[in-house]
Each structure stands twice: as C-alpha cells, then as structure tokens.
Copies of this chain bind each other. A is one copy, B any other.
Amino acid sequence: MAYELHYWPMIQGRGEFVRLALEEAGADYIDIARRDDDSGGIAPMLERLSDSTNPRPPFAPPFLRDGDLVIGQTAAILLHLGPRLGLVGASEPDRIWTHQLQLTIADAVDEVHDTHHPLGVDLYYAEQKPEALRRATAFRRTRIPKFLGYFERILTANDGTRLVGADLTYADLSLFQLVDGLLYAFPKAAAAALRDAPHVKRLHQAVAQRPRIAAYLASERRIPFNEDGIFRRYPELDG
C-alpha cells in the first residue's frame, strides 16, 4: 500500500524532508493535498488533524499514513521510514546517531523560521521587519557558520562524503535540503559559510545529482522555494 503524505501543498516546508526520503527511495507514495483530481487539496489533511476518532492524532502537518499508523513530527516520520526505505544503517548506534543529526538539522530549520518571524506566527513578516533584521543578523553571523561547521566536522571525521557510515542516510538528504534552503534564503551568507565547509558544499552538490533526486528536483513535484515557506528570500535579511 502506498504511503500517504499529508502536508501543505504550496510550500516545501518541513514536509520536504519527508518527500526527499520517499523520492530517493523510489517509494510508492501519494502527496495527498497535491493530487491532480478532485480528491486533492487540504481537506483530507484537516479532517485527519481534527478527527476525534483517532486516539493518536498528530499535532500539526506533516504527517504520514502507513497503513493503520499515522505519524506526525518530521523527525519521527524519518525515524519510522529510515529502515523501511533503506536510508539508515542497521545498527542501533548508527540509527540513534542518524536521528540525533536529524534533530540538529531540525533545530537549524526552526532558527531559520525565526529569522522572519521573531515575534511569532500570528503576525506577518511586514509587521516585524526591524526585529527580523536583528534576529537574521545574528543568525547569519554566528548560527549559519556554527551549524555548517558542525556538519563539516562530522563529514570530515567520517568518509568526507556521508554523515553516517558508507551509505546515504536520510540525514544526508536533510542536510542537502538545509543547505539548499540557506542558499535560497541567504545566498550571500550561505555561500560565505560554505567556503569554510567544503565537504558540506560537495554533499549538497552530490545529493542534487543523484538520479532520483535530480529527476525529482527537475519535476513539478518539487515546489519552488517561495515566501510562504520556511526558507524565504528577503534580500534585506542577507546583509
């Protein structure tokens, strides 16, 4: 049975980390809200979120349906999919380490979101531009180099091309997405930080060239980055 992914259809957002894993594995999945026919749209997602008959409802999108199981939280979805898609090692130390890296990537993603919404999600960006500038400045100067420097250290201590072991994991795919998003949102700051993180830069390029990922990125299934998502290009925030 096909996996069902439930997520907002107009943005990459947190759902993209799940989409990339499913695409790399060539998994049979349905991006429910993006179906072409009349069954598409976000109504099924909203229904499942408010479904009072489900004793284990997700808190928010994205969530994945795998048979009877409905799993929310991006990192938990990848924890579940990793072994099933062949995107994590077999040993328990490898699995917990891969998950730890995923959670650190998730932290970085949260901080990206806060650069344009430091006062909260109930206000538009236009209502918090001076505050966003202060937060984004600190993020550019100290946090982008810190996160990318950390992953550079991990790659260097491994084989230079993968975060964990010899085979691609979902954490590699997620690091690709983090870098791709930073290059979109903060092209100047990200390019500068990547000069000091050459292995991270090469991983980003190598993942983009994997046959299934390249086909995905060139397809209409890959939603372009835009200013409703997590990674937003507001040039004033890039210094």
Binding site for B on A (CB under 8 A): 55-59, 69, 71-73, 75-76, 79-80, 93, 96-97, 99-100, 103-104, 107, 110, 114, 118-123, 131, 134-135, 138-139, 142, 150, 153-154, 157-158
Contacts and interface: CB of A to CB of B under 8 A. Distances in A.
B134 A56 contact: no
Contacts of A119: 118, 131, 134-135, 138
Contact of A120 (B72, B73, B79, B135): B135
Contact of A57 (B93, B110, B139, B153): B153
Contacts of A55: 154, 157-158
A207 B110 CA distance: 30
Contacts of A75: 75, 103
Contacts of A158: 55
A107 B31 CA distance: 25
Nearest to A139: B120
A71 B95 CA distance: 11
A84 B121 CA distance: 38
A82 to B, nearest CB: 11
B118 A135 contact: yes
Given A56-B97, A75-B75, 18 more contacts: A55-B154, A56-B157, A57-B154, A59-B107, A59-B150, A71-B96, A73-B100, A73-B104, A79-B79, A110-B110, A114-B118, A118-B118, A118-B120, A119-B131, A119-B134, A120-B135, A120-B138, A131-B131
